[in-house]
Structure 1
Amino acid sequence: MVFACRVFALCNIVPCIYRLCLKANDGIGRPITEDERQHILNVCRTHKHGFWVLFMLYTGARPVETRLAKWEDVDLDNNRITIHSAKNNFGDRLVPINPELLPYLTCGDGYIFPQDDDQTQATRGSLRSWWKGFKRAVDIDMGAQVSVRGGVIPVTSKVAPDLVPYCLRHTCATDWYTAGVPINTIREFMGHNDISTTTRVYVKLSDEAFNDAAARIAAFEQGKKEHKILIIPREQEMTS
């Protein structure tokens, strides 16, 4: 079988997005590594705030937006969650429910992630405390040693210093992109007014997408050698 292909439009066959790789700092995140993902998921199974972490990982919610989340925002019938934007006046947005979240979405009343001691809205300080405790648990899961007082011995720490909650949001965007979700749809899910924010900062090229692109390019070159792909010169195409 012969396929016609424009060499100059190869980027349309293997789409990818150039990205700015940022070190996570002051709320700026990066996608988590696959090793970090495994340890995070391990800890989520038993940690008190594991559901909170998974919520950010699978909805792309900003940490501060989890404070606003209520059970009435969960629509199981239509497989969606309403996220109340806490930034840039984007307004409320809908995101699909990831199947991994379903076991946790038992529904109830009030805030999904309230203060630990009551049902009031969690404070920003509580979010920082939750993450500090969760990150410590991840560090221990990675192999860090604990002192007699319960703290992680610094020289044995394994967790990356730049692993911050926003890394979960960045990972969610990258996962959506790798899954083939259109970039403008990801912009809506993330609550970005400007699509350049989505493409420049949030969407990174995953290992899966990179390997898939490499395989496609290799197959393309092999197809040329075996004369299974017909290269049509641009000039000939324009005059045909």
Structure 2
Amino acid sequence: MENRKNMSAMQFDITDIEWLDSNQAKGEQYRKVISQLDVINKYLGNESQMKKSIDDFLDNNSIEKGRTIRVTDLGCGSGYILKKVGDLLINRGYIPVLIGVDVNPEAIDLARGKLSQYDNHMICTAIDENFEIPTTDFLISSHFIYHLNGSQLKNFLLLNKNKIAFALFFSELYQSKLSIGLFQLFSRILNFENEVRQDGVKALKRAPKLEQFKQLFSSFHSIEVRKVPFFRTIISGQL
């Protein structure tokens, strides 16, 4: 019988590795690339759609004001989205505990710096082969779950479902020829680094199509897969 802990650990399907996932992703170039990804998060819908999804959940569920809400971000990068979610929770009257998870130690350092202004407790931990989701209220991720194939994703969610108290919120780009062309145009206009351009195209080519996202989550009846602007899907709900 397979060990339960190993089954719930992250397993990456990296056949054509992206620069950000490689051992070259470090130093000044890494920080430059990450800052450009934060621009993409801000202006191409990730930040606004993630915040709207969480805002809607808070509107539709009776969660006592003043309570602590733990948020875990898988693949947190610089901590940009995690910080924005923390700000939202504070504005809504909650006390956020923010947990950023990333494979890159430099991302962890950036996230710690970005989140250091908070008085409340934050943890940033790197994913390793034994990583499991910590007990959390919200599980969020952006452009991350396509690293897992269908069976890995389902096993991971099923084996960790009891660790997510409220809901998950995944913001993902879906694959289309038009999205790849527009991303390449956007990257040229803003003069993004080659690493950003190449990784973006790789990510879009590897990402599931919208209908494939719906199929992946079809067995989770409380999970909604919504199409939103900028070739993005928001996957949200309770496991």
**Structure-1-length-normalised TM-score:** 0.25
The structure whose residues are more often strand, as a share, is 2
When Rg is computed on C-alpha atoms for both structures, the one with the higher figure is: 1
